[in-house]
Amino acid sequence: MSSPAPALVKAAQELSRKLAPLKFGEPVTHVYNPLEYASVPHEQYLNRYGRAGQQIMFLGMNPGPYGMTQTGVPFGEIPAVRDWLGISSPVGKPMPEHPKRPVVGFDCPQSEVSGRRLWGLFAAKFGTADTFFARHFVANYCPLVFMEEGGKNRTPDKLPAPEMATLYKACDEHLRKVVTALQPEWVIGVGGFAEGRAQLLKADFPNLKIGRILHPSPASPAANKDWAGNVTRTMESLGLW
């Protein structure tokens, strides 16, 4: 089987081009696109870890401020990306940059808790990244980061309906390209939003199975009580682990 990586890289570049002209109104004041300014580590991730035979694809929502926003890698907690995935490349700057949300790439001192939990579980269970990626892949539905004037994150599902519709059209098309390239048996939504977008794939991929794990965000009270154990039990109940 040929590697899906070139198709993944091409799909990411096409998505980035389609999103570039989109405009978003208040309360959003700043929009970051890591596929642009962090394209080097993002494409390293796709080239290194997009592999034939990956049966399970985990799907996140959009970048966190100290994860993919800084590293270009989904759920990109810096120590996990640098030390476990072995990716550490120069990252540019979004324009304009929010004064309260600077992008400093792999020098970012803050921790992305969601990414620390997600990659931490995978590292604990599978040992090496190569072992994990032999059967799994991790992607994000939307690559854009939306910020309000005060620096607060705004998730894509909180955008006005017309903006949301245009954004979702491009992201849905990209998701179909990713699934076409990887041909997974399962797409596992990391949280309810991602599961909902994944369910729409059934129209084009009727044999695709859709599941859901608890989102690792510390904003979720349930995620702060043995998140790793909860996810492990879910994956075991689906017969995947």
Per-residue model confidence as pLDDT tens digits over 174-215:
999 999 999 999 999 999 999 999 999 999 999 999 999 999
Q: How confident is the model at residue 1 (pLDDT cuts 50, 70, 90)?
A: confident
Angstrom distance (rounded) from CA 147 to CA 140: 18
Which residue, chain included where needed, has tokens 């590292």? Answer: 123
Average pLDDT score over residue span 74-96: 96
Distances in whole angstroms, Cα of residue 96 to Cα of each of 33, 103, 154, 167: 11, 11, 17, 20
Average pLDDT score over residue span 72-96: 97
Question: What is the tens place of the pLDDT at every residue in 137-153?
Answer: 999 999 999 999 999 99
- Helix count and strand count (H, E) for the chain: 10, 6
